Amino acid sequence: MQDYAFPQSKPKKTTYLKWAIFAFLVLLFLGFLKRSLTRESGEIVSPLPEGIISIFSSKPKDQSALLAEIKKITTPVGGSWSVYIYDLNTNQGFGINETAVFRAASVNKVPILAVLYHLAGKGEIDLDQQVTLQAKDIQDYGTGSIRYDPPGTTYSLKTLARLMMEKSDNTAAHLLGRQIIGFDKIQELVESWGLTQTNMEDNKTSLVDLLKLFHKMYRGEIANQALTSEMIGFMDDSDFEDRIPALLPKDVKVYHKIGDEIGNIHDVGIVESANHPYFIGILTNDVTDEATAKKTIAQISKLVFDYLD
């Protein structure tokens, strides 16, 4: 009787695929467990182990290449540059000269706005209060439309706040900062919020200070939810979208404030990128070609967006 030889089974490709999937899931679980045990309170951390992340992400592990590219495009423009990027998900930041103190120009309108809404939230200021424009209050320089209105025109504090941010109106800033609140009060509050390099009278600040202020505003630590939405809403879609927002996708919200003086071209704010918000601030000093400086700020913004997105 002839023996029957059972055919030897060959490993199937599906078996290898199943084992590969199983191994990946094990690595995924171990990475998630490790990071869950070590993450800081409130920090958003990817559950993937670093080795797995490097397989699927082309983003550099450090910021040196990005900073080198920023220096490359700012050097030909001349002047001094301060750049700061801060990821609001991971609470990590990096930059160039971010602690340097610069002339704030119209960026100093952000502390005025923050203090106004903080006091409104405490019931110390009524945003519907009417103010009558006097001839002595008109700031006949720079940006804004109120300086063309006749004395005797009335505005609510809320309207002044909107014009101060959307049109960078200098007369609105003067009325709110000098007449309604007072620079001493503003200085006192921003210092209590941890801003150590901001001087309202001298109109000077730094990006590390501006990060603290924008972060508190964005997280709702300045005012309640309704007032916060209104406050930061004034910084979205202003008359000056030629810098941080210029090269970004149109559906990306940017809450920011520009600043212009002779030699100083700035833009500072928060970019909402697909549930991944980040702060970006760019201050300049001694630049001679303002148009090129604005384009360079837009290029830096796009580089940062592509890096973090």
**Tell me: the pLDDT tens digits for 100-136?**
999 999 999 999 999 999 999 999 999 999 999 999 9
Question: Do the beta carbons of residue 307 and residue 280 sit within 8 Å?
Answer: no
User: So what's the pLDDT on residue 224?
Assistant: 97
Q: Rounded to the nearest 5°, which phi and psi values hold at 199?
A: -130, 110
Beta strands in the chain (DSSP E): 80-87, 92-96, 102-103, 130-132, 154-156, 204-205, 253-261, 264-272, 278-285
List 163's β-bridge partners, or say none.
Answer: none
Calculate ∠ Cα 227-204-116, nearest 5°: 20
User: So what's the pLDDT on residue 16?
Assistant: 55
Closest to 131 (Cα-Cα) out of 155, 112, 113, 108 = 155
User: So what's the pLDDT on residue 30?
Assistant: 52
Between CA 256 and CA 271 the distance in angstroms is 8
Please report how many Cα atoms fall inside a 13 Å half-sphere around the Cα of residue 25, on the Cβ side.
Answer: 6
User: So what's the pLDDT on residue 309?
Assistant: 81
Crossing angle, helix 109-121 and helix 157-166, to 10 degrees?
A: 150
Question: Do the beta carbons of residue 243 and residue 298 sit within 8 Å?
Answer: yes
Between CA 151 and CA 290 the distance in angstroms is 33
Between CA 224 and CA 117 the distance in angstroms is 9
Closest to 243 (Cα-Cα) out of 257, 233, 262, 231 = 257
- Residues of the chain with confidence (pLDDT) below 50: 1-12, 32-61
- pLDDT tens by residue, 69-103: 999 999 999 999 999 999 999 999 999 999 999 99
Q: Which two tokens stand for residue 98?
A: 């971010």
Between CA 284 and CA 267 the distance in angstroms is 9
User: So what's the pLDDT on residue 36?
Assistant: 44
User: So what's the pLDDT on residue 3?
Assistant: 43
Neighbours of 45 (CB within 10 A): 15
- pLDDT tens by residue, 31-51: 544 444 443 433 333 333 333
Torsional sign, CA 263, 265, 268, 274: negative
User: So what's the pLDDT on residue 275?
Assistant: 74
Q: Which two tokens stand for residue 276?
A: 């991944």
Between CA 82 and CA 157 the distance in angstroms is 33
Looking only at the bridges linking them, the beta strands covering 154-156 and 204-205 are unpaired
User: So what's the pLDDT on residue 274?
Assistant: 79
Calculate ∠ Cα 178-184-187, nearest 5°: 110
Question: Do the beta carbons of residue 244 and residue 298 sit within 8 Å?
Answer: yes
Rounded to two decimals, what is the model's pTM? 0.81
Between CA 73 and CA 68 the distance in angstroms is 9
Between CA 260 and CA 262 the distance in angstroms is 7
Q: Which two tokens stand for residue 108?
A: 């100093």
